[in-house]
Structure 1
Amino acid sequence: MGKKALLRTLKTILVMALLFSTGTMVSQKKNKKNKEDKTEEVKDSVKSSKGKKYNDLIKQGTFKKGLFNTIQVKTDLYLEINDSLFQREFLVVNKISNVPLPVNDAGLNKGMNYENKIITFHKDLVAKKVWVKSSEPKVSSPVGDAITASVNSNFSESIIEVFDIETKNNDSTSVVIKANKVFDGKQKSFNDVLSNIGFGGSVKSDLSYIESVKTFPKNIVVKSQLTTSVSEGGPALSVTIGVTSNIILLDKVPMQPRFADNRIGYFAEKHWYFNDSQHAVLEKELITRWRLEPKKEDIEKYKKGELVEPKKPIIYYIDPSTPKQWRSYIIEGVRDWQVAFERAGFKNAVIAKEPTEADTDFDIDDVRYSVITYVASQKSNAMGPAVVDPRSGEIIESDIIWWHNVMTSLQSWMRIQTGAIDPKARGNKFSDEHMGEAIRFVSSHEVGHTFGLKHNMGASFAYPVESLRSKDFTAKMGGTAPSIMDYARYNYIAQPEDNVEAITPKIGEYDKYAIEWGYRWYADQTEEHTELNNLIAKHQNDPLYFYGEQQDRDSTIDPRSQSEDLGDDAMKASEYGLKNLKRVVSNILEWSYDKDESYYETGKLYIGAIGQWNLYNYHVLNNLGGIYLNTTVHGDNKASYVPVPAAIQKRAVAYLLKNTIAIPEWLFFNPILDKTNPLQDSPLGPYEYTPYTLARELQYGLFYSMLSDDRLLRMTENELFQRNGTKENIFTVTQLFQTLRQNIFAPTIQNKSLTILERMTQKNYVDVLIVSTNKIFEKTDAKKGIQLNENLNMPQLCDYLDDSKMARNINQSSLKRVTEVTSDKKGELNQILQLLKSKRSIGNQETKNHYFDLIQRIERALNNTL
């Protein structure tokens, strides 16, 4: 194309662009005017044609004023939304209000919060609709930054519901919507109860309805009865669940958040921060806590160190259905926290009371009331969850769920752990006073969760074992550990001659420290950051203030942070525990005696004692291949990963060889078996274990855990990265196998005939090596043993929290086929094989049969291993 032709073409394009632009602008102006005219027409139409309908609704129905004015016309529920509430943030909180037996039996009960979400309402007069949007408010950016526009686009709200505008009020400052569908089960947008509780399916709308509605200045409470059909291979079963939906108006300005520090244990909400000046997005966690602030007139007193009452205290109400004899103990468990909040500068910060006639609006399901809900159920548990504003971590409300049958767990703990030293803890039924003190302890523990505190499983490691035998020390420290948030139950270490009286968990020094860190008020964020760091630094080397994360029971890495343990030396603590456990077992028949009753209580107490023995086994075992995991920061001069010293690991193996691998006959073969086997409850009634089967499976489970790939890999890595290079400081996998083989096969080496239990132990050891080496055998008895261990552990509380997900995740599992572990296990099998071949003709016939069997198993396994 020539130069002149190019110019003509460009000129034509420019003219066309100008014409198009002008036409577009005219068209846009016309559309804008038409839209404005249409909006005015809609406004006039709604006002004129609907005004009469608004008055008719008021006349026909029941009108209540509140956050949303409500109008109930027969079975229809209308909500009147004021213009000032559009685009404000609300929190929908859904709870269970009542359940039939099948749901109760599944562990779902009144008071349980199953679904929360942030919503906003948006008025659209053109479409005559109210749109409802939802979002996860986990992202922030400064208002003036350029990136904020991108944040808004990339983390936008989603539409979850829409309502027709039925009418407007007489002065056009609010609109009315018909809200039935989001509360009666037709739509899942506000309340998807079946999916959230794991039932699935859909609500039968013809068998469901809105039961009642209450409206208050900052929230609305809607109760519904929702019915579904459940079929488990048989006839369909109709199940109706009562649910309550709260819609809460959130503050325009959220509470000032406090950022989490992994050296102290608080539940937290994740949050992302964007700004123009950063090189990467900043991810922080906001701890969950109540908004506890001094009154304006008390701020100066507070800053000077005077105790002041908070602007709004934390109040817990006792469920009126709680048996009267337990109420005072539950209340005392809450009040015990006063001393911790005084450390944070507040007096009378925590209040527990029974509702009175003055509490005219009291409703357990109303989110304005934090309630300790008493549940009639056979489940033995308690839990303390909280409803949280995800924008800031502010705890808005909490419902502690207290299952009636939790007392069975308390009685089991006390009988088995303290029966040897406390006569009050021996019978089939305790006095109300003795049980009440146990209830008080559980109340304090669960309330601690509602303040935002996580389990601190490292607290129990703070006290020396011998100190727990001291009457003076335990009286001074006031409990079994410096935190009631540990699972440090009762003092099983103290011996009868020690005369220790303080044997129950209490609120301790860590708890006071944690509350001070989480709740001390600061007007200035810079000061807050500095002072909180100083508080942690001040105590970082004192074991009383150590925080240890809860770990998965099947993959514990740090032996300091274990559940149900006591003291700083698991071997020594367990030896003392066994002494007391022997005393308990020798008295089980006497303590469980109840004239003309069956031996059910005897069998239950017996299996509880076996469970306690098994608990000690794993407290000890987790020292083998263990690593002390320290949460470190720059400048604290602490090592993040410290292998458990070799001497401690060797002591752990010695304990297990003596007390576990050599099955204790005093526990598994005793006069109790003349009357009953160990009994465990099941849905089909008591389940009996024969002693040989139980001992065999528990021993197998221990071997399986002891020789797990992850444990052996940690031992290998400890050897590889030992800094000073001296063999005295490490315990190798080779040394472990050599120690086990020399003990387990000692009778074989000595040319003796084997007893049944000796043959059992050798078979278990060899089979675990085979199963964990040869993938073909992976689905054998291994899983049974592991499941049984869990079943026999002592009762657990608040396991709903699933804290194991919060433990540190260290990857040691990749490419196991090319690690030393495979070679070590094959080598151990070969060592055993050569020994057995040399002894195959020695011993009685049962021993020879046993050797023949093991030789064939090992040869087949080694030949089949890939």
Structure 2
Amino acid sequence: MKKQLFALLYLYFGVCYSLIAQPSTGSSDRIAAFTAGMERNPGFLTFYWDAKKGKVWLEIDKFDTELLYYPTLAQGVGSNDIGLDRGRLGQEHIVQFQRSGNKVLLIEPNYAYRAITSDPLERRAVVESFAKSVHAGFEIAAEEGNRVLVDLTPFLMQDAVGAAQAIAQTKQGNYKLDPTRSAMYLPRSKAFPQNTEFETIITLTGDSPGAYLREVVPTASVVTMHQHHSFVQLPDAGYKPRLFDPRIGYGGMEFFDYATPVSQPITKRYISRHRLEKKDPSAAVSEAVKPIVYYIDPGTPEPIRSALMEGTAWWNQAFEAAGFRNAFQVKLLPPDADPMDVRYNLVQWVHRSTRGWSYGASIIDPRTGEIIKGKVTLGSLRVRQDFLIAQGLIGKFDSDSSQVNAMMTMSLDRLRQLAAHEVGHTLGLPHNYIASTQGGSTFGRASVMDYPTMVAKIRSGGQSGPAIDLSDAYAKGIGAYDKWSIRYGYEQFPNGANEKQELDKLVQQMHAAGLTFLTDQDARPEGSAHPLTHLWDNGSNAIDELKRVMEVRRLALSNFTEKKIPAGTPMATLEEVFVPMYMFHRYQVEAAAKVLGGQSYTNALRGDRSTGPDQPVLATVPAAEQKRALDALLLTLTPDALAVPASVLALIPPRPFRYNPNPREVFKRRTGITFDPMGPPEAAAGMTLRFLLNPERCTRLTRQSVANGQMPDLETVLTSLIVATYGPSGKGSEPTKAKGYDAEIRRMVQRKLVEHLIQLAASRDVDGAVRSGAHNALMTIKGNYTRKWGANTAFRNTDEYDDHLHWLIRQYEQNPSTIASTTPLTPPEGAPIDPGQEWLAPDCDWTGFDR
């Protein structure tokens, strides 16, 4: 009996103790009791730090209230190829906390589908038709009044930016989060009045690390970085969204509006822009209620820092054109400011192991398109690549140091333009790749949102002969198109004005000034069609500019000596300087190739031709211009254009110990450690042939001749290519095969042409007419230009026949699917030598990934 009594008393007191230790949910001091001894951080979302357990407890008092959440990468990996850079922005999300019993869900509504109407039932029908996303669920640990406390730590301890996925996608290994090696980072976990920030140390572990990862991580099986989480108060309802117009470039948001009348488009498109309002709306020019301020990373060294500040400040010229005085400002980030803080638009200086892209991205309000934070990432090694190009063009490392100053001046001019370019993305602007052909001068330069290449001119050098001049390498200041685009996005119209009509007037006036807009989809594909829309080109005419660039290239190669590198530098490193000189024509070749089968067009709206300038909606490039382009391109395949000067071949020995090059910065070779004299010609010839014989371009050639018999067709182009490569065909006795460097280059080009034609003819993805044309061209080569097996054979009357080509074509005829072509030697990486490729996808969508 006594044992039973003691058992009952034990049970009774145990229950009482349990109730005391864990008071009822109605207790008014439960949160205070639960968090006793923890560090309290009051702010937008108040949180507590439990140092003993390494946990973050979040106090939630905002239920069913929308806020903005986004992750960022506070400390990166350092590889341009993997893309995990310091400051990389993740995707923004509208979220809200919803309570259900003893649980809180973090829910993201679906803003891609809406009903813009005052009818709540109509809005509810759309909400219930599409899925939403629950990002996290939390058990309530304590509560007090309308406030609850949850453990936020598991949510923070995740790979929020998708680093493991990025490593896998770039084939750098299979990695996963290791919670035992991950923890909170308190110095950058803070609560502010309008935002609350958390930072974590995240460790990924894995195996089979790739070369990019091994290059930048001290122990490649363990990758540790800092990831940041931001919870931000959304802007108030004072922002007015602005309609998108395809004739002028703006990124932004779009959604389905199911309240739209059936007679109107259901997709609504709006631009992204910062909120900017005049202090005096009635004034033609007024100060802003709240200026747009961009802050420069104080970790940027001089003189680069000043150059970035100057280039960023160029945008004030555009805002002045839009009616604002001193509305765009540039400052140095204060020492006590957190770069992750949403209140700071930031231009950040990022280091990588190799040169790489720069980014311009933004965090926007997905409901309206309002830009909340602009973020620019500039790679520090880019300036060294620009200096290297200037080194090859005008460098002369002897007693005179003037060239060094000129090279640095050019490099800083490029950085100014790059800063302006990337900041332009954060203001809402995408690329405008037709701008380099517009603007009223030989070299256009109508927009910093184009990808520019340096303008290298040839000037008379007196007794010393012609010389390359870089004094006008890059434009200085904002472009004419940029002013129109900022006016479209930010100009404030008088009260009572019809905004849509006023915006349409702006676009029509821009067109009347000779300015248009075409972007990535019009320029990036190798088979794209517009003859004026290219990356890293110059000049109002792609053909004339190719001829001019080839002259600059010829002079640069003829002047190339050991003085292109400083004394005391290994001679083998001359190759890094030589590469951009030899490939100096690469982007202009691509530009000229687009003239073949090219079509000019604009993003026209119905009515433009009657209310604006007479701009054709679509027009094929004239036949004479296409013929000029073909002739200019064929000249890039001659031995004279492709041969490496003998003086240069004698200057580049194998690499010395511990001077292994980055494989992307030197020519590929088949000669082992020695410089391959056939490597550069093969890379350049293959490049021209790839552009000329692009399947989409070849298909357009077949189509344009059907629509208009005066236009060059594919057969004409292939015949010209064969004659330029092989020479006129004929009969004669078997000759002795020529020897020498030029003859070998000619034979290499012939082989490359056959291999490209076989690829076209054998591919199932290529249009049938193109395959037929490529097949006929192969038969022409076989019949007229290669050794035939048997007696009384016909040979061409020159000395460059090739038994191997005859054999290769026979293999194609017998079994085209098994042709074993030689793996081509492709050119070293070109981009980014000038542009800021925003990491679009990596790219470039408009938010700024220029790839």
TM-score, normalized by length of structure 2? 0.80
Percent of counterpart pairs with the same letter? 23
From 616, 621, 626, the equivalent of 1:649 is 626
Q: How does 1:329-408 map to 2 (within 5 A)?
A: 329-356=307-334, 360=336, 362-380=337-355, 381-408=357-384
Q: Where does residue 503 of structure 1 map in the other structure?
A: 473
Q: What amino acid maps onto 2:479 in structure 1?
A: G
Q: How does 1:808-823 map to 2 (within 5 A)?
A: 816=766, 819-823=768-772
**8 Å CA contact retained: 1:623, 1:652:** yes
**8 Å CA contact retained: 1:145, 1:275:** no
Does residue 575 in structure 1 map to residue 547 in structure 2? yes
Q: Where does residue 755 of structure 2 map in the other structure?
A: 767
Does residue 632 in structure 1 map to residue 632 in structure 2? no
Does residue 79 in structure 1 map to residue 58 in structure 2? yes
Alpha carbons of structure 1 residues 627 and 276: separation in structure 2 relative to 1, 3 Å: closer
Q: What amino acid maps onto 2:533 in structure 1?
A: S
From 288, 291, 313, the equivalent of 1:313 is 291
Q: Where does residue 182 of structure 2 map in the other structure?
A: 208
Alpha carbons of structure 1 residues 710 and 826: separation in structure 2 relative to 1, 3 Å: same
* Structure 2 spans left out of the alignment, 5+ residues: 1-21, 211-218, 462-467, 610-614, 670-675, 818-851
CA distance in 2, matches of 1:392, 1:364: 25
Q: Where does residue 855 of structure 1 map in the other structure?
A: 806
Q: Where does residue 42 of structure 2 map in the other structure?
A: 65
Q: Where does residue 167 of structure 1 map in the other structure?
A: 142
1:458 is displaced (CA, Å) by 0.2
Q: What amino acid maps onto 1:737 in structure 2?
A: L
Residue-by-residue CA offset, 1:20-54 (whole Å, 9 max, x unaligned):
xxxxxxxxxxxxxxxxxxxxxxxxx9876543332
**8 Å CA contact retained: 2:572, 2:653:** no
Q: Where does residue 708 of structure 1 map in the other structure?
A: 694
CA distance in 1, matches of 2:400, 2:714: 47
Alpha carbons of structure 1 residues 768 and 432: separation in structure 2 relative to 1, 3 Å: closer
Mean CA deviation greater in 276-285 or 58-67: 276-285
Q: How does 1:445-460 map to 2 (within 5 A)?
A: 445-460=421-436
CA distance in 1, matches of 2:209, 2:454: 44
Does residue 266 in structure 1 map to residue 250 in structure 2? yes
CA distance in 1, matches of 2:85, 2:625: 45
Q: Where does residue 566 of structure 1 map in the other structure?
A: 538
1:708 is displaced (CA, Å) by 2.8
CA distance in 1, matches of 2:240, 2:394: 45
Q: What secondary structure, in the 3-state scheme, does the structure 1 residue paired with 2:561 have? A: helix
CA distance in 2, matches of 1:426, 1:589: 18
1:178 is displaced (CA, Å) by 2.0
Q: What secondary structure, in the 3-state scheme, does the structure 2 residue paired with 1:385 have? A: strand
From 92, 95, 108, the equivalent of 2:69 is 92
Does residue 179 in structure 1 map to residue 159 in structure 2? no
Q: How does 1:79-228 map to 2 (within 5 A)?
A: 79-82=58-61, 85-99=62-76, 106-124=82-100, 127-141=101-115, 142-144=117-119, 147-169=122-144, 172-185=145-158, 193-195=163-165, 198=168, 201-212=175-186, 213-228=189-204
Q: How does 1:684-699 map to 2 (within 5 A)?
A: 689=669, 690-699=676-685
Alpha carbons of structure 1 residues 683 and 401: separation in structure 2 relative to 1, 3 Å: same
Q: What amino acid maps onto 2:649 in structure 1?
A: L
**8 Å CA contact retained: 1:274, 1:281:** no
1:401 is displaced (CA, Å) by 1.0
Q: Where does residue 612 of structure 2 map in the other structure?
A: none
From 448, 451, 455, the equivalent of 1:484 is 448
From 514, 526, 533, the equivalent of 2:485 is 514
CA distance in 1, matches of 2:580, 2:651: 16
Residue-by-residue CA offset, 1:468-496 (whole Å, 9 max, x unaligned):
5xxxxxxxxxxx51111111222135645
**8 Å CA contact retained: 2:178, 2:203:** yes
1:745 is displaced (CA, Å) by 2.6
**8 Å CA contact retained: 1:46, 1:167:** no
CA distance in 1, matches of 2:151, 2:753: 68
Alpha carbons of structure 1 residues 410 and 704: separation in structure 2 relative to 1, 3 Å: closer
Q: Where does residue 606 of structure 1 map in the other structure?
A: 578
TM-score, normalized by length of structure 1? 0.79
Choose between structure 1 and 2 for higher RCO, CA contacts under 8 A separated by at least 6 residues: 2
Q: What amino acid maps onto 1:96 in structure 2?
A: L
Q: Where does residue 776 of structure 2 map in the other structure?
A: 827
Q: What secondary structure, in the 3-state scheme, does the structure 1 residue paired with 2:90 have? A: strand
Q: What secondary structure, in the 3-state scheme, does the structure 1 residue paired with 2:413 have? A: helix
Q: Where does residue 616 of structure 1 map in the other structure?
A: 588
**8 Å CA contact retained: 1:79, 1:176:** yes
1:832 is displaced (CA, Å) by 2.5
**8 Å CA contact retained: 2:389, 2:581:** no
Does residue 322 in structure 1 map to residue 300 in structure 2? yes
CA distance in 2, matches of 1:208, 1:355: 29
Q: What amino acid maps onto 1:289 in structure 2?
A: R
1:399 is displaced (CA, Å) by 1.8
Does residue 744 in structure 1 map to residue 725 in structure 2? yes
**8 Å CA contact retained: 1:50, 1:167:** no
**8 Å CA contact retained: 2:350, 2:377:** yes
Q: What amino acid maps onto 2:107 in structure 1?
A: K
1:160 is displaced (CA, Å) by 2.5
Does residue 256 in structure 1 map to residue 229 in structure 2? no
Does residue 289 in structure 1 map to residue 266 in structure 2? no
1:843 is displaced (CA, Å) by 7.5
**8 Å CA contact retained: 1:218, 1:248:** yes
**8 Å CA contact retained: 2:253, 2:272:** yes
Q: What amino acid maps onto 1:51 in structure 2?
A: S
1:742 is displaced (CA, Å) by 2.7
CA distance in 2, matches of 1:624, 1:555: 10
CA distance in 2, matches of 1:405, 1:415: 15
1:201 is displaced (CA, Å) by 4.3
Q: Where does residue 30 of structure 2 map in the other structure?
A: 53
Q: What secondary structure, in the 3-state scheme, does the structure 2 residue paired with 1:51 have? A: coil
Residue-by-residue CA offset, 1:771-810 (whole Å, 9 max, x unaligned):
21124xx9xxxxxxxxxxxxxxxxxxxxxxxxxxxxxxxx
Alpha carbons of structure 1 residues 756 and 685: separation in structure 2 relative to 1, 3 Å: closer
Q: What secondary structure, in the 3-state scheme, does the structure 1 residue paired with 2:325 have? A: coil
**8 Å CA contact retained: 1:115, 1:196:** no
1:604 is displaced (CA, Å) by 1.1
Residue-by-residue CA offset, 1:321-378 (whole Å, 9 max, x unaligned):
1113322211111111111001111111211111346xx4x10122221221112323
Residue-by-residue CA offset, 1:46-91 (whole Å, 9 max, x unaligned):
8765433322245311122211122222222122222xx2112122
Q: What secondary structure, in the 3-state scheme, does the structure 2 residue paired with 1:820 have? A: helix
1:433 is displaced (CA, Å) by 5.0
Residue-by-residue CA offset, 1:605-633 (whole Å, 9 max, x unaligned):
21111221233322222211111132111
Alpha carbons of structure 1 residues 57 and 294: separation in structure 2 relative to 1, 3 Å: farther
Between the two proteins, the alignment pairs up a number of residues equal to 744
Alpha carbons of structure 1 residues 757 and 164: separation in structure 2 relative to 1, 3 Å: closer
Q: What secondary structure, in the 3-state scheme, does the structure 1 residue paired with 2:277 have? A: coil
Q: What secondary structure, in the 3-state scheme, does the structure 1 residue paired with 2:91 have? A: strand
Does residue 544 in structure 1 map to residue 543 in structure 2? no
Alpha carbons of structure 1 residues 314 and 254: separation in structure 2 relative to 1, 3 Å: same
CA distance in 2, matches of 1:274, 1:635: 28
Q: What amino acid maps onto 1:620 in structure 2?
A: A
1:837 is displaced (CA, Å) by 6.8
1:526 is displaced (CA, Å) by 6.9
